[in-house]
Structure 1
Amino acid sequence: MIDVALARSLAEAGLRWHPATGDRFLIDTDAFDAEVFTISEMTIEAHTYPTGTELGFNGTTEWALDSVSTDDSLWLPREDQMRELLGPIFHALIRGESGDYEVTVTIDDEIQTFASPDAENAYGNALLAYIDASLRIENVERS
């Protein structure tokens, strides 16, 4: 699973979450421990309203919680979700000689590799670099 600090960095960099079945998240407030929840149509459903998306907890009698806003949640993207977000810049995921997972991407016409003991964190670091590169002012074409 992706490191919580890295998931928070991705959110702060601008990665947006559109909750779907199978997504993992945690409630990002001091009142909750770092318990990870998974959206499931049986227990946790995403409800979209004009004011935002709420995650509804169905039938959870042990919780004094009906719903929580996605603004108070932190998405923990999966490996497949991050690979999809990298899209055409993604080249490969391999297990390097050190035993770390290595994700290779092209960012700003340069091949870059991001390594981590966990594949999710290697993908997360590549995605964070991609978002950062996409938001740099020198990358914006001027008319």
Structure 2
Amino acid sequence: MITVALAAALRDAGLRWHPTTGDRFVIDKPGVDDDVYTVSEMTVERHDYPSGTVLGFNGTTEWALDSVDAAESLWLPREDQLRDLLGPAFVSLTKSGSDFVVTAVVGGTSQEFGAPGAADAYGGALHAYIRSALD
């Protein structure tokens, strides 16, 4: 799972979230951003309204929450989602020592992005890819 800091950097770079079953997220507020939630038809359910998307909490573990606006949530994309978002820019994932290294074509050149976890390596590559697309 990627770090909250990397997820925030991806969001701030322009990555948008359209909640779907299986997605993980934190509530983007101090003091409650340590708990990771999963969108599920049984526990956290997505509700689309004209005013925006709301994530409804229906299970006993989230008894203190009724719902939270998706804009107040921070998506923690999975490794497979990050790889899919890289699309054709993705070249490879390898292991180098204790790090995972993602090679991706960013701004027309092949670049490497290393991190202790594969998801963070993908996230770093995606962050650079999004930023290069904005330049």
Query: Normalization by structure 1: what TM-score?
Result: 0.90
Q: 2-side partners of 1:134 and 1:93: how far apart?
A: 22
Match status 1:56 vs 2:56: yes
**Percent sequence identity over matched residues?**
59
Q: 1-side partners of 2:101 and 2:11: how far apart?
A: 22
Q: 2-side partners of 1:91 and 1:61: how far apart?
A: 41
TM-superposition CA deviations, 1:85-141 (whole Å, max 9, x none) = 000010111111x221000001122000100010011000000000000001xxxxx
Cα distance change, pair 128–62 in 1 and its aligned pair in 2 (3 A) = closer
TM-superposition CA deviations, 1:16-61 (whole Å, max 9, x none) = 0000111000011125241000111100011111111100001336
Cα distance change, pair 22–111 in 1 and its aligned pair in 2 (3 A) = same
TM-superposition CA deviations, 1:55-76 (whole Å, max 9, x none) = 0001336522110001110100
1:127 maps to: 126
Q: 2-side partners of 1:62 and 1:91: how far apart?
A: 40
Q: Which amino acid aligns with 1:135?
A: L
Query: Normalization by structure 2: what TM-score?
Result: 0.95
Q: Could you say what the CA RMSD is over the residues aligned between the two structures, in angstroms?
A: 1.2
Q: How does 1:94-105 map to 2 (within 5 A)?
A: 94-96=94-96, 98-105=97-104
Cα distance change, pair 29–18 in 1 and its aligned pair in 2 (3 A) = same
1:10 maps to: 10
Cα distance change, pair 127–61 in 1 and its aligned pair in 2 (3 A) = closer
List alignment gaps of at least 5 residues for structure 1.
137-143
